[in-house]
Structure formats: C-alpha cells, structure tokens
Amino acid sequence: MLFSRNRKSKVFYYHDLGTAHTDMGTDISLFLKHLSVFEKEGFSVVEQITEPENQVMICFDDGWRGLYENREVLLSRGIHPTVFIAVDLIGEKGYLTESQIRELHSLGFGFQSHSWSHNDLTEFSGDGLDKELSGAKKHLEQQFGWSFDSICYPMGRHSDKVCQGCLKAGYKLQYTSISGGYYDMMGKKQVCRNCAQYSSPKELRMMLLSTSRLFRRHLRALHYVKA
C-alpha cells in the first residue's frame, strides 16, 4: 500500500508568516486553515512533542521578520513555534534582529540553531564544519544566554559525517527535511519534518494522516549525501 494511515505526532515546517519578506512565506489565511485542519483532526499544537500520537509541532526556518510582525497570529492562539536561526542571518534584511529574537523568546517562542552561515553542511569538513556546528552553538548561547541544544540542517542537507559532527557538538536533536513522524528517525537523533508552507488544506490533511514511503525515499535522496 502506498499510503498507510497513521496518527503519529509530526513536525510541520514553514519559513515565514506572511509573504512580505520571502516568497517562501505562507499567507496568513492559508496558515489559519492549516490550524483548523490540525484542530479538526484532533491534533494539538505543542511546543515540543512528548507523545507518539496526536501532537503537532510547528517550526519556522531561517528567522524571517514576518514572524515578529505577525506574532499575534500565533500568540493569540497559544502557539509557540520553534524558530531555527543562523548566526550570519540575524539582523540581515528581512530577518529577525537580535532584539526581536529576544522579545519573541520572552513571549514563549523557541529558538534553536540553523548553523553559522546557512550553507550546505555537507560541503564542510574539519575546522569549517566545527565552526558551523559547535561554533554556532557556542556563539548563539553566548549571545542570547539560553541553550541551543537542537539544530536544523540548512536546506535539509546532511551526511553521516554531518550527523556525527552534530552529536559531537552537543546537539541533542537534528531536525531534517525528510517527511514522516517525529519518532521515525530518532535512532540517529534525527527528527522528521514535513514541509507545509505551500500545502493546500487538503494536502496538509494527507501529510498529517498518512505516510508515503515513496515520497520519503525521494526526500531522502534529495537531502542525504553518502559520505
């Protein structure tokens, strides 16, 4: 069977709320429809997944500024997403500034590492890779004063060397761009994530309730480099 029905807890990722800063942004009306799908299907939106089923975690990659401008959309619904930020992108045009990040953090948003430069991690080795992984972790922790114990691979790109490097740097979890349930790849401390930013409500519902093995294989081929 191509699709197997499941209620596994899942992570959904986006880039921005609203489309003012990036064409990877999600229209607010579409985002609200996504929230309705989660609610209608009996999934609760949580800050961190703790149960094998019926939970959804929402992530935003890169730290785009629409998240700050449209924060009430999330806060008024009690949603505290996790945002992955890269050292080099903070304060750049269209991205969150340091003070906006601090304010959102004080309002309950989670912030985690998205490397130093936001380049493909499989292209680095030695000191270069160390800077992207442990360098970014230390820098962000020093800058903000809270712990960055998870990382999200830029563009989803990773290899076994990258995965080992993340473990060595002290990251407890590695967020991928491979679809599936939260616990599906936990053996390697990797978290599956489902790309939702352009999905129609119907497509989102399908991602929420089913797992396509073929689609997962395709995403793995796209993001995983054997090294």
CA 144-48-208 angle, to 5 degrees, is: 130
Q: How far is the CB of 79 from Zn ion (least distance, A)?
A: 20
CA 103-10-101 angle, to 5 degrees, is: 10
Regarding 62 and contact with Zn ion (CB under 5 A), the answer is: yes
Regarding 132 and contact with Zn ion (CB under 5 A), the answer is: no
Per CB under 5 A, the segment of 59-67, 87-95, 169-177, 209-217 that binds Zn ion is 59-67
Q: How far is the CB of 151 from Zn ion (least distance, A)?
A: 11
Q: How far apart are CA 113 and CA 116, in angstroms?
A: 8
Total interface residues for Zn ion by CB under 5 A: 3
**CB-neighbour burial class of residue 159 (10 A; exposed 0-12, middle 13-18, buried 19+):** middle
Give me the helices (H) in the chain, please.
28-40, 66-69, 71-75, 98-106, 126-130, 136-144, 160-169, 201-209, 213-223
Q: How far apart are CA 75 and CA 161, in angstroms?
A: 38
Q: Is residue 166 left, alpha or beta, with left meaning phi > 0 and alpha meaning psi from -120 to 50?
A: alpha
Nearer to Zn ion, 37 or 101 (CB): 101
Q: How far is the CB of 154 from Zn ion (least distance, A)?
A: 5
Binding mask 147-166 for Zn ion (x = CB under 5 A): -------x------------
Nearer to Zn ion, 131 or 205 (CB): 131
Nearer to Zn ion, 59 or 74 (CB): 59
Q: How far is the CB of 202 from Zn ion (least distance, A)?
A: 26
Q: What is the number of the residue whose Cβ is closest to Zn ion?
A: 61
Nearer to Zn ion, 37 or 166 (CB): 166
- Tokens representing 2? 């191509």
Regarding 61 and contact with Zn ion (CB under 5 A), the answer is: yes
Nearer to Zn ion, 47 or 88 (CB): 88
Q: How far apart are CA 77 and CA 223, in angstroms?
A: 33
Nearer to Zn ion, 24 or 75 (CB): 24
Q: How far is the CB of 113 from Zn ion (least distance, A)?
A: 11
Positions touching Zn ion (CB under 5 A) are: 61-62, 154
